[in-house]
A and B are shown apart, each in its own frame.
Chain A
């Protein structure tokens, strides 16, 4: 038996304790087994402990709030011990303040008065029982220090006679069980300490259960909210038994009611998009062997024929029995996928538009180049006809004109040859090419356009440039784009020469670099970040897609494209791509599109094939 102590003015052995003691009783948590063993002996009036326990358990399971459960418990106690009213004071989590109270046998005004009250240590019955973690018998008349808790009740005709702590399994104070004697009864109430121990055990269980539920509910609510926020659902899957549990949200995602049907892989399979089913099954088989965590994406085909994209991540773990279990999260990425598809489609359209736009410029350039020698041909032929028409025919001058006609025809033929070199390629191929030669062809073709803009072009093409691997037409499109951009950037410049310097060189890493330097308006620090964004343009008639498409072409060649402001006026745009023999990245790929499945590149391919 634990050390006994009395909280009272005087020690009076009036035999009220069944154990013959006045004072502190052993705390129930220290002697639960003992208390339980006395269950049969400690029958409450009308109901046995087991029945009360079962009834209280039923209330908890049915979801009755804690005050109702505890009040019911108090009512049972009150019915057991004649002349007594009991109450439960619930403490806050710190165990220092009364949070709420339960019990129907005491005046509501008194109960209300106790709520929020700080439980004072040692000097008061409540404080002592919590501090000592033992039941305390209150003897009367009470001292001044006890008056605070006992007096208000006494004023209402209830005499506080015994308090007992309600402790958690780990011994933390959860509440106080307080027994009051109705003053009409003069005899000290007779109850067994075992009754109280049973009562506090049940109350403790109820409070802990409720607190646990509360925490569980809170974390479940948090989880649910988080799932909603991140469009993520969770599941667990026991590979051996095939047992799957998943969150309500996941059921909604699959449009399956998890509450009605047990979730099985078979059931899930009915929702997987048929095209993704083989890879899904393959993933399941791999996961079943327990090799590692897994992550994959698949589509759902729902009954209304709508399609959802899911991203699944699962972590391999072991359940309590040591069996393989996966804990996973599923994210609905349908919106993201749709957005990506829309962007890809848009890029493809833009790439096509950019191609058409640069073709328009090229067509004008071609017409200009071809019409010059054609003009010579027609004029020479006219001259020739005139020389032959005079009498006598001037054979010598006719011959001269004919010779010049031939020469002009050869010039026209040269232009055509250059065009053939530029366009008459079979599809998009990855070939070894000389960037200098490709550059010269572009410069020759765009010269008239540049001249029209009063731009002088100078080239510094490094000799013995190593060949690069790539698609000639695409790279020439980039060079042309850089040239025309440079030209446009100088459109409004009148106070200095409009000059473009095209330079090729080989860098330290044996990469081939081409730069186009202009003396135009340049770009500010704000523009630098956005230069390569689609739709960013400084031109009034520009679409802002040339550089964006150019960059995707260069990147598909495993290179990079960048811009730097000049020390003087203007800007320099450069790209560099690897030189040398085909690397693993290209070997076997055949086309550039296969190196990097960029949409722009794919669109380029289609377009170039159509040429």
Chain B
């Protein structure tokens, strides 16, 4: 339990079941503690917001979108590094999100290498 507690928490917010099923397993394998949520609202309602060290966040979701959540967290003064993941490869969106402070924006499907690089960037590991 104490060992688990040392692992940094990565929260996954994505409405795609495929992602929620597969990504947590890989993240745990990479050494993180993981929670998965199907919507931004669900994440905000959980007790993990303050604990989350990195957010893997889908852009397009019913209701509150990824960028909406990013804004909400900023408004709350919660600066969580965010890695956006999206099924719509749109470079202009990616550029805008990076400019707004996102660590990275990965287009689905992405490789585990790309994910590791993004996580390393989020956690400041060179």
The one of B25, B62, B107 in contact with A401, judged by C-beta atoms closer than 8 angstroms, is: B25
Please judge, given known A-B contacts A451-B62, A452-B65, whether A375 and B88 are in contact too, CB under 8 Å: no
Measured CB to CB, the closest approach of chain B to A245, in angstroms, equals 74
B7 contact set on A, CB distance < 8 A? none
The one of A379, A407, A454 in contact with B109, judged by C-beta atoms closer than 8 angstroms, is: A379
Q: Once bound together, how far apart are the Cα atoms of A160 and B11, in whole Å?
A: 128
Measured CB to CB, the closest approach of chain B to A263, in angstroms, equals 71
Q: Which residue of B lies closest to A382 (CB)?
A: B112
List which B1-40 residues lie within 8 A (CB) of chain A: 15-16, 18-19, 21-23, 25-26, 29
- Please tell me if the beta carbons of B87 and A379 are within 8 angstroms of each other in the complex: no
**Interface residues as binary, A583-602 with B (CB distance below 8 Å gives 1, 0 otherwise):** 00000000000000000000
B87 contact set on A, CB distance < 8 A? 367-372, 375, 448
Q: Does residue B69 face the partner (Cβ distance < 8 Å to A)?
A: no
Q: Once bound together, how far apart are the Cα atoms of A376 and B14, in whole Å?
A: 12
Please judge, given known A-B contacts A451-B61, A452-B65, whether A375 and B85 are in contact too, CB under 8 Å: yes
Q: Once bound together, how far apart are the Cα atoms of A311 and B9, in whole Å?
A: 82
B16 contact set on A, CB distance < 8 A? 372, 375-376
Q: Once bound together, how far apart are the Cα atoms of A401 and B24, in whole Å?
A: 12
B85 contact set on A, CB distance < 8 A? 375
List which A361-416 residues lie within 8 A (CB) of chain B: 364, 367-380, 382-383, 386-387, 397, 400-401, 404, 407-408, 411
B23 contact set on A, CB distance < 8 A? 379
Q: Which residue of B lies closest to A397 (CB)?
A: B25
B62 contact set on A, CB distance < 8 A? 451, 454, 456
Q: Which residue of B lies closest to A454 (CB)?
A: B63
**Interface residues as binary, A425-468 with B (CB distance below 8 Å gives 1, 0 otherwise):** 00000000000000000000000100110101000000000000
**Interface residues as binary, B84-113 with A (CB distance below 8 Å gives 1, 0 otherwise):** 010111000000000000000001111110
Measured CB to CB, the closest approach of chain B to A568, in angstroms, equals 22
Please judge, given known A-B contacts A371-B108, A448-B60, whether A379 and B22 are in contact too, CB under 8 Å: yes
The one of A364, A380, A411 in contact with B88, judged by C-beta atoms closer than 8 angstroms, is: A364
Q: Once bound together, how far apart are the Cα atoms of A397 and B25, in whole Å?
A: 9
A448 contact set on B, CB distance < 8 A? 60, 87-88
- Please tell me if the beta carbons of A375 and B111 are within 8 angstroms of each other in the complex: no
- Please tell me if the beta carbons of B26 and A452 are within 8 angstroms of each other in the complex: no
Q: Once bound together, how far apart are the Cα atoms of A380 and B63, in whole Å?
A: 28
Please judge, given known A-B contacts A371-B109, A374-B108, A375-B85, whether A451 and B60 are in contact too, CB under 8 Å: yes
A372 contact set on B, CB distance < 8 A? 16, 18-19, 87, 108
A382 contact set on B, CB distance < 8 A? 26, 111-112
List which A327-373 residues lie within 8 A (CB) of chain B: 364, 367-373
List which A105-140 residues lie within 8 A (CB) of chain B: none
Measured CB to CB, the closest approach of chain A to B56, in angstroms, equals 11
Please judge, given known A-B contacts A368-B60, A451-B61, whether A379 and B29 are in contact too, CB under 8 Å: no
Q: Once bound together, how far apart are the Cα atoms of A452 and B88, in whole Å?
A: 11
- Please tell me if the beta carbons of B109 and A377 are within 8 angstroms of each other in the complex: yes
Please judge, given known A-B contacts A375-B108, A456-B62, whether A386 and B19 are in contact too, CB under 8 Å: no
Measured CB to CB, the closest approach of chain A to B10, in angstroms, equals 14
- Please tell me if the beta carbons of A373 and B18 are within 8 angstroms of each other in the complex: yes
From B15, B107, B109, residue with most partner A Cβ within 10 Å: B109
Q: Which residue of B lies closest to A377 (CB)?
A: B109
Which residues of B are in contact with A by a Cβ distance under 8 Å?
Answer: 15-16, 18-19, 21-23, 25-26, 29, 60-63, 65, 85, 87-89, 107-112, 115
Please name 7 further chain A to chain B contacts, defined as beta carbons within 8 Å, in addition to the given A379-B26, A379-B112, A404-B21, sorted by A numbering: A371-B108, A375-B108, A376-B21, A408-B18, A451-B60, A451-B62, A454-B62
Provide a sorted-by-A list of 22 A–B residue pairs whose CB atoms are within 8 angstroms. A364-B88, A367-B87, A368-B87, A371-B89, A371-B109, A374-B109, A375-B16, A375-B19, A375-B85, A375-B87, A376-B18, A376-B21, A377-B109, A378-B111, A383-B25, A383-B29, A386-B29, A386-B112, A387-B29, A401-B22, A401-B25, A452-B65
6 closest cross-chain pairs (CB), A and B: A376-B18, A375-B108, A371-B87, A382-B112, A378-B109, A379-B22
